[in-house]
Amino acid sequence: MNLDFTPEENAFRDEVRTFIKDNYPAELRKAQDEGRALTKEEYLLWHKVLAKKGWVAPSWPKELGGTDWTPTQKYIWSEETARADCLGLMPFGLSMLAPVLYTFGTDEQKKRFLPGIYNGEDWWCQGYSEPGSGSDLASVKTTAVLDGDHYVVNGQKTWTTLGHFANMIFCLVRTNREAKAQSGISFLLVDMNTPGVEVRPIITLDGDHEVNEVFFTDVRVPAENLVGEQDKGWTYAKYLLTYERTNIAGVGYTVAALEKVKRIAMAVRRNRRPLIEDPIFASRLVKLEIDLENMKTTNLRVIAAVAGGGAPGAESSMLKIRGTEIRQELLSLARRAIGPYAQPFVEEALLEGYAGDPIGPQGSAALTAQYLNNRKLSIYGGSNEIQRNIISKMILGL
């Protein structure tokens, strides 16, 4: 594989940079700089700009609105959007559900759901995890019983990211209790406005409302919303997860984050010299950079395989493991670099009678929040321990 960019590819990079500079929504940039929680409308601003340009779904087939970019162009796009600190597009519809629909869905399902995903008119969330069924998705207990031309759904999903914004949810449901675990699961599309669907917020330690619980009580879902065959949903779920794991790796984000850590380490001084000259800190940073270069090569291979008509395989598990570990280590190094300023709160704010600002120095609170929030990266999308089992089975035959 030739990893050198051609003149045409470098020209494409320049085109991307110019487009972002001229078209990234100023309102969204302001909201990001303020570090506050985004509204649903703000989340969709960049999505709608890209949909109008025709760049919102680079990996979709050309006939469905994809860009027909080469694997290298897709890589450049991810790298440049991360470098410019563009808000990541919500993956649930665009890069998780859509590949399942255009691969296994009916023509009617493609016509009905793909345009809404592309234009941002439908906000999808993921109904996989349940209390007691996280990495072991084969143990899901939410049931769907066929009643005439509808499925009646009962159960609970949890950790549903931004489910309070969603109007649609794709779910794993148990349709056959007699079959072995994986064989009795189906893949169902549910309108969140259907009677019997209830969304309850889960407030995380930082006070943020990002995840939710979703309850289903006698929810009637048209049978035409079943994707593929009944009881074969495990096949489609695994297919979707390979795309999710590739996205979680966040190669473009990690490249940008590494540069940020370097800037911090050059600015911070310890013992009268830049932190980046500290042998222990520098060795950890160099190791990360080497790991990242290896991951970038693997990412290009995965993109090339998908572009050739394949789907991410065990490589997506490799990316998920290394990508999440590298992202967590980068944030750990950043916190070490800013030292005591990494406190999420001013220490005095814990004392009775304190009337000042409880938040630490500007930027430090956001960094600490990112560090804490990203501890979950090695768990969701299938824990890294599960990914190692997948690699052992698919590649080593163990």
Residue 330 lies in a domain: yes
Q: Is residue 133 situated within a structural domain?
A: yes
Look at residue 137 in the predicted model and tell me its pLDDT: 76
CATH number, domain of 189, equals 2.40.110.10
In a domain, 244, yes or no: no
Query: Has this prediction a pTM greater than 0.85?
Result: no
- The pLDDT value given to residue 339: 78
In a domain, 240, yes or no: no
The answer to the question of residue 324 being in a domain is yes
Tokens of 205: 């330690």
Answer yes or no: do 339 and 280 share one domain.
yes
Of 231, 266, 286, the domain-final residue = 231
Helix runs in the chain, H state only: 7-23, 26-34, 40-53, 71-83, 91, 98-104, 107-119, 233-249, 251-267, 279-307, 314-338, 364-373, 384-391
Which of 117, 149, 165 is at the close of a domain? 117
Ranges of the chain with pLDDT below 70: 1-3, 135, 206, 243-249, 304, 306-313, 341-352, 354-366, 398
CA distances from 122 to 112, 115, 169 (A): 11, 9, 10
What range does the domain containing 345 cover?
A: 250-396
What CATH code is carried by the domain that includes residue 298? 1.20.140.10
The reply to whether 174 and 284 lie within a common domain is: no
244 is catalytic: yes
Q: Tell me which residue has tokens 């759904």.
A: 153
Give pLDDT, residue 356: 59
Shared-domain flag, residues 99 and 153: no
Report the distance separating Cα 334 and Cα 367, nearest Å.
8
According to the model, what pLDDT value does residue 74 have? 87
260 and 382 co-located in one domain: yes
CA distances from 278 to 258, 263, 281, 334, 339 (A): 17, 14, 5, 14, 14
Residue 240 burial (CB count, 10 A): 27
d(CA 319, CA 254): 12
Domain count of the chain? Answer: 3
Do 182 and 228 touch, CB atoms closer than 8 A?
no
Residue 255 confidence (pLDDT): 84
**Claim to verify: residue 390 and residue 275 sit in the same structural domain:** yes
Residue type, 304: A
Residue of 244, 259, 329, 348 marked catalytic: 244
The alpha carbon of residue 270 and the mean position of all alpha carbons in its chain are separated, in whole angstroms, by: 36
Please indicate, yes or no, whether residues 216 and 352 belong to a single structural domain of this protein: no
Residue 392 shares a structural domain with residue 256: yes
Residues 128 and 50 in one domain: no
Domain C-terminal end among 95, 117, 139: 117
On whether residue 373 sits in a domain, the answer given is yes
Give 376's DSSP letter: G
- Tell me the helices (H) and strands (E) count for the chain, helix number first: 13, 10
